[in-house]
Amino acid sequence: MNKKLPLECPSCSGRLKVKSLLCDTCDTTVSGLYDLPILTGLKVDDQLFIIEFVKASGSLKVMAQQLNLSYPTVRNILDGVILKLKENGNDS
Amino acid sequence: MIANQKIDVRSLLFNPFIRIAGLSSLIYGLVAIALSGSVGYMNRAHFDGVIDLHFGKEAPILVFLLEGIMNWLSLSIVLFFLGVILSKSKIRWIDVFGTQALARWPMLLLALFSFGFGTGKIAINGLSISILVFGLLSLLVVIWMVALMFNAYRISCNLQGKKLVISFIGGLISAEVISKIIIMKMVLAMTAPPTLASEAVVSIQNQSDKTEIAKKVLTHFASSEFAQIPKYFDQTMKNALPEVKLKEVWSGLNEQAGKYKNSSKLTTSKIQQYDVVYILCHFERTNLKMKAVFNDKNEIAGFFFIPENQK
């Protein structure tokens, strides 16, 4: 089962933060208050897109070929991701 | 991601631009436009506006091809500028022009449909079932094409919401008006017969040549240069009035009417298909008119000296 990382508080819809982290090798727990990385605010599809984009050396043409999509479609996805990142950046 | 989605028929029919744009769509689109124009030429189907099809008069194939090109260019240019102004993305002209060219491919189907519903039949039978069927099909195809144009604009310019809808409707109407005006002027220019003005210039030029020839002939007579005269004659006249005969005619006139003094009034007229030039010649004892009748090759086909009052 693929568990989804919760990003919003189910009670007040506020942005969640990390309070504790666990090492599942030695069972050590680290407690504190950490912000989630900005990329986690994106949908899984968008996160995968960013990974593919980096792997393609930031070339939209290569991305279009790899994904079998037209150039403007890939550019539109990227512009959408950029917009979401800006929005998430402003929220935090 | 979109790439992982199955290629469904709906997407293929209404929004192929998710997967095809740029140069490849431009090439496919231009081929479709050229084929639409060629089929239109065969059945006189004029694409005389961005979303128009009308059956009209025969014209050179170039007119039908240019109609398609003008429609495509009108809409592409308008939408490209709207995209540049409204979009926050860096849009490429090749995507706008390419996807809009491909969006016109349903017009090829419409041109082919019009074969089955022959234009002559429509004109003769009036409002028949075939017209209604063709009308309905045309409407569906045009709606389909507009949907393709809309999606092409949405993808190539990355616009959404009200901005997208309003700018597309405005752009389509503007392009329709622009293309109508351009095509109307182009068709008029390419199918109109030679203008009256140009005909008049040719006519005046011919008339001017003939009067000049008539003047030269009289000058040669006055200077006794009879050998120079037959070159202005047609073959029949050359045979009938060689240099020797011309000399005899001129000598006879000078004996009867007195010595030639000068000429004055020059008039022209048309007898059947022949242009005629008259020059009033003053001799010592009387006046005579030199009458030169010209054929359409500007050769003298008839030549006379007649009394002043005779025509």
pLDDT at A25: 94
User: Does position A10 have pLDDT exceeding 60, yes or no?
Assistant: yes
pLDDT at A3: 79
Residue A46: closest C-alpha in chain B = B1
Cross-chain Cβ contact B158/A45 below 8 Å: no
> Phi, psi at residue A26, to the nearest 5°?
-110, 0
Place of tokens 């939408």: B79
Asked if the C-beta of A65 comes within 8 angstroms of chain B's C-beta atoms, the answer is: no
Q: How far is A87 from chain B (nearest CA, A)?
A: 15
More reliable by pLDDT, B243 or B145 = B145
- pLDDT category at B155 given cuts 50, 70, 90 is very high
What integer is the mean pLDDT of B35-56? 88
Chain B residues with CB under 8 Å of A68 CB are 3, 19
Q: Average the pLDDT over each of A16-25, B146-155, B171-180, B242-251 and give the range with the smallest value.
A: B242-251
Q: Average the pLDDT over each of A40-44, B115-119, B277-281 and give the range with the smallest value.
A: B115-119
pLDDT at B38: 92
User: Does position B119 have pLDDT exceeding 80, yes or no?
Assistant: no
Q: Integer distance in angstroms from the first to the last C-alpha of chain A?
A: 30
Integer-rounded Cα Rg, in Å, for chain A is 17
| Total beta-carbon pairs less than 8 A apart between chain A and chain B | 52
Partner residue facing B3 (CB), from A68, A72, A76: A68
Residue A64: closest C-alpha in chain B = B19
pLDDT at B7: 65
Task: Print the SS3 string covering B54-102.
Answer: EECCCCCHHHHHHHHHHHHHHHHHHHHHHHHHHCCCCCCHHHHHHHHHH
Q: How far is A88 from chain B (nearest CA, A)?
A: 19
Inter-residue contact B268 to B250 (CB < 8 Å): no
Partner residue facing A69 (CB), from B3, B90, B91: B3
Asked if the C-beta of A61 comes within 8 angstroms of chain B's C-beta atoms, the answer is: no
Percent of chain B as helix, strand, coil, to the nearest 5: 65, 15, 20
Residue B16: closest C-alpha in chain A = A70
User: Does position B88 have pLDDT exceeding 50, yes or no?
Assistant: yes
pLDDT at B159: 95
More reliable by pLDDT, B296 or A57 = A57
DSSP state of A15: B
Which of B191, B152, B167, B146 lies closest to B49, judged by CA? B146
Residue B90: closest C-alpha in chain A = A75
Residues B309 and B241: their CA atoms lie apart, in Å, by 25
- pLDDT category at B123 given cuts 50, 70, 90 is very low
pLDDT at B190: 78
What integer is the mean pLDDT of A84-91? 78
Q: Average the pLDDT over each of A27-31, B92-96, B116-120 and give the range with the smallest value.
A: B116-120
Cross-chain Cβ contact B18/A69 below 8 Å: yes
> Phi, psi at residue B58, to the nearest 5°?
-65, 150
Please give the model's pTM, rounded to 2 decimal places.
0.65
In Å, the largest CA–CA distance within chain B is 111
Which tokens belong to A38? Answer: 């900005």
Which tokens belong to B289? Answer: 């008119």
Cross-chain Cβ contact B92/A49 below 8 Å: no
Cross-chain Cβ contact A69/B88 below 8 Å: no
Residues B65 and B111: their CA atoms lie apart, in Å, by 13
What integer is the mean pLDDT of B206-214? 80
A52-65 pLDDT tens trace: 999 999 999 999 99
Which of B255, B304, B305, B308 lies closest to B284, judged by CA? B255
In order of A7, A82, B106, the CA distances from B91 in angstroms are 34, 16, 25
What integer is the mean pLDDT of B4-18? 80
Asked if the C-beta of A50 comes within 8 angstroms of chain B's C-beta atoms, the answer is: no
List, in sequence order, every residue forming a beta bridge with B291; answer none if it has no partner: B278, B304
Cross-chain Cβ contact B19/A69 below 8 Å: yes
pLDDT at B84: 96
pLDDT at B81: 96
What integer is the mean pLDDT of B240-268? 86
Chain A residues with CB under 8 Å of B25 CB are 70
The SS3 assignment for B24 reads: helix
